[in-house]
Structure 1
């Protein structure tokens, strides 16, 4: 009774008294069951803008990256592989190009292509250059990647060797950042799942560091004439020293910095091994370093939707009971315009797939769509200028009466 009275008050406030509605036309046919639109499953979540803080080139096809990509693809087939196999093939190739030399630093501005040219002349380089080359190579193929600095708890005034450089790359297939170390051709897994460096730290903090599997690539094992087991043992002892701090390249409003997350290390520092170090920013929130990339979000807009009061007037509704009994005649129909938005560096276009059919390129960022009766599966993804498709945003919607 209270709800019916509320509806009457609403109609009066809108200038439509129940008496005036009494003679409104209404269908004499008995309405069928209410057809409901239900979201059964959805990964359609708000986008994260963290990707804007990544220090990335303007394009994966910049002259320097194109030169690097063309040089490498003449020597190894990467484009014929899918993510994440492409990532590990790039890791393996870079890891066997030279042997480590911790004291040979190239001049500032030396490109990854130039490093590889120098390697062919017998030069060897540091972990920094391994990380730079593999990250640049993956960038040239359309995969956002970043050089990862990891430091001991004694980073500020410890002796030589308090830091190491590896990489992290965003896998669209795995929908996460994964750790790779090109100096040792290593990736890390736990129970079959590839890990980021912070996930490695969390396992170490929980006393489960020995559960992590470190797997070197076959050609790296062959090059160093050893066994995977021996390399894993050596690497576990090595990497365990560098869980003090982690560092990634960062930018905000065009200003470049290094963003540092303390792990086992306590507090902030202003020097590295007692020497100057510029542009440090600190955070205590891992989400500042680990945010999703290349996702899409979908906005649903009903086509031909009518104002509520017009529906009330047309159907002569004065009580909630009438509203509920007549609702099957005017309930929402799944006739939409979909609007797509993305959080993808180097975005090119969207692709849409309906009910498991073929992927179709969407011209622009909107598309009309009507759901059919029963279960509907919608999938949308963004594709970048290098042709790399982002994670799939999958939604299952049902249009049917209650069973």
Structure 2
């Protein structure tokens, strides 16, 4: 009897946190993108190199000023003010890096990393960095634009949480200019960043409410103040998956076009009991003809690209595809492409159809 079996798959339910970051293309981002396209050649780089090149460019624009708060200025306005000699905080280094990457089609966020005593430990209890989702690496990647560095473990870029969990195993990567200004940047940076392993904080939206989502690291308490000031709408979690989810995934649902009518088959073949049904199981065997439905949590989704074995790439501007499997192995790959032409995470399935034994 021919069988249909999934031999390997990473197809799974999309994260419920997919809308948390509220990343949507808008006029502000379009204006920023046009500015970046005019002033830089960043778009010639790909994931993940473009992340590091963007960070380096932002780092070069001004000197750190821990006091100057630009208020509600947009990223483009901050860039214009920086071009006239104004300096800004770590907050703005992260914000600009995040917004540039988002404007170019990537998924990025600012991260506030805070000490265990961020409420009443004094001033300087936090540092702001960025993280960006790498569809190529299938993970979040840490960037510190103020310090112009990122981190790797086994030559793979890591997130801030991975730095926290594997502090002694990660390697920090700095620009050449950093080495010109510091004899031992790795030692100095480790000493600096170690101060901010109490909590990591991501701003987002839950049920249409703006929240500050705190992930407990070394910090065990829930806080109601930040540096003696107000701390509103803070939600605390110990669940890493609440912060670290795939925000750029595609899910595939395979629906059979033809349903097996068990009652009709039993009646037509006069099957009397379960034993006879089992002895004639091939009568109930379904053919692998599907209507495949795709859904994605990728922001600004434009279309899907579908690859089946060695066939030409299929561009899908709808969310369905008629799939019929011949005998043999079938490698199926699908992913989202957004409005900026950036590819999302790949969903891959290996399906076998045919006569098999103990496969």
- Shared topology, TM-score over 0.5? yes
Tell me the equivalent position of 1:184.
147
Alignment check: 8 A CA contact 1:55 1:249 kept: no
Alignment check: 8 A CA contact 1:83 1:172 kept: yes
Stretch deviating more after TM superposition (337-346 or 353-362)? 353-362
CA offset at residue 196 of structure 1?
A: 1.3
Asked if 1:261 corresponds to 2:235, the answer is no
Tell me the equivalent position of 1:153.
116
Asked if 1:292 corresponds to 2:250, the answer is no
CA offset at residue 232 of structure 1?
A: 2.0
Tell me the equivalent position of 1:94.
58
Asked if 1:401 corresponds to 2:348, the answer is no
> For structure 1, which runs of at least 5 residues remain unmatched after alignment?
1-33, 204-208
TM-score by length of 1: 0.84
Tell me the equivalent position of 1:80.
44
Alignment check: 8 A CA contact 1:152 1:245 kept: yes
Partner of 1:155, secondary structure, is: coil
Runs of 4+ in structure 1 off by over 4 angstroms are 319-322
CA offset at residue 321 of structure 1?
A: 5.1
Alpha-carbon separation, structure 2, partners of 1:151 and 1:96: 25
Alignment check: 8 A CA contact 2:265 2:283 kept: no
Alignment check: 8 A CA contact 2:302 2:317 kept: no
**1:132 counterpart (95, 102, 107):** 95
Stretch deviating more after TM superposition (65-74 or 138-147)? 65-74
Tell me the equivalent position of 1:10.
none
CA offset at residue 322 of structure 1?
A: 4.2
**1:312 counterpart (250, 266, 269):** 266
Alpha-carbon separation, structure 1, partners of 2:341 and 2:289: 31
Asked if 1:216 corresponds to 2:165, the answer is no
CA offset at residue 130 of structure 1?
A: 0.2
Count residues with an aligned counterpart.
Answer: 357
CA RMSD of aligned residues (A): 1.8
TM-score by length of 2: 0.94
Q: Which structure ranks higher in relative contact order (CA pairs < 8 Å, sequence separation ≥ 6)?
A: 1
Alignment check: 8 A CA contact 1:35 1:401 kept: yes
CA offset at residue 387 of structure 1?
A: 1.6
Alignment check: 8 A CA contact 1:295 1:344 kept: yes
CA offset at residue 329 of structure 1?
A: 4.9
Larger Rg belongs to: 1
Partner of 1:225, secondary structure, is: helix
> For structure 2, which runs of at least 5 residues remain unmatched after alignment?
none
CA offset at residue 324 of structure 1?
A: 4.2
